[in-house]
Amino acid sequence: MSSKEIDIKVVLLGTAMVGKTSLVDRYLHERYLGDTVPYQNTIGGAFGQKTLEVCGKLIRLGIWDTAGSERYASLSRIYYRDAGAAIVCYDLSDKNTLERAKFWIEELKNNESDCRLYLCGTKKDLLQTQPCPQKVQRGDAEALGDNFSAEVFETSSKTGENIKELFLRIAEDYIQLWKKNKTIALSRGAEYGNSDDDSSGELNCNDVFLCVTTASYC
């Protein structure tokens, strides 16, 4: 296993109160505080990180949780600049939040068009414990995802369902892209008579990225 870590910048987007902060907190700390801690708006962005091993590589996920209010959209652009992956969240119990997710997708694509997109439905536990007349239909989410080549995950921060799987998929997809880019770089090097498999052939996108935060998960 290579000792060199590969950094992936991951940004969470979505309207206020869809559960972005709870999702990050569940993944980083394996806890759920939603029933005990009063709701607080994220102002600007909060940062946390986690390291995992995928395909023999150490992957360090740098995760940015951004403000959900659209009036902070211009500020949020600071946080998703050079992101390798974006998770756009919506509340599974409220179909209006899926509609608002389109705003954040357009924001992302207009400013960071190469960023890999994932759609994340949150609060899945609510669908199993109470009537949700405004719930999001799976087909509607998948149709939106198909428009942007985005995989759809339905999660619950309360139970932890599908959250580890979401971040693992992000890491796996990024590794595949990383290997592809490395192969291309080595192939181009060989064309110019430099086929040595040294560190110059490794494309570690996002090894360095902006780290400005108003709050922290650390």
List domains and CATH numbers for the chain. Answer: 5-216 (3.40.50.300)
**Inter-axis angle of helices 95-111 and 138-147, to 10 degrees?**
10
Give me the pLDDT at residue 60, please: 97
Give me the pLDDT at residue 184, please: 74
Among residues 49, 24, 48, 19, the alpha carbon closest in space to that of 35 is found at: 19
Give Cα separations from 157 to 72, 122, 164 (angstroms).
Answer: 24, 7, 10
Length of the chain: 218
Phi, psi of 182 (to 5 degrees): -65, -40
Give me the pLDDT at residue 137, please: 97
Burial 120-144 (b: 16+ CB within 10 A, else e): bbbbbbbbeeeebeebbeeeebeeb
Report the distance separating Cα 211 and Cα 142, nearest Å. Answer: 33
Report the distance separating Cα 64 and Cα 48, nearest Å. Answer: 7
pLDDT exceeds 80 at position 57: yes
Report the half-sphere exposure of 197 (CA within 13 A, side-chain side). 3
pLDDT digits (tens, 9 = 90+) for 138-161: 999 999 999 999 999 999 999 999
Q: Which two tokens stand for residue 152?
A: 């759809």
Alpha-helix residue ranges (DSSP H) falling in the chain: 20-29, 73-80, 95-111, 124-129, 138-147, 163-191
pLDDT exceeds 80 at position 186: no
Q: Which two tokens stand for residue 206?
A: 């996002």
With residue 155 as reference, give the H or E element that holds it: none
pLDDT digits (tens, 9 = 90+) for 71-88: 666 667 888 889 999 999
pLDDT exceeds 50 at position 214: no
pTM: 0.82
44: left (phi over 0), alpha (psi -120 to 50) or beta: left
Looking at every residue in the chain, the average pLDDT score rounds to 84
* Percent residues over pLDDT 90 in the chain: 63
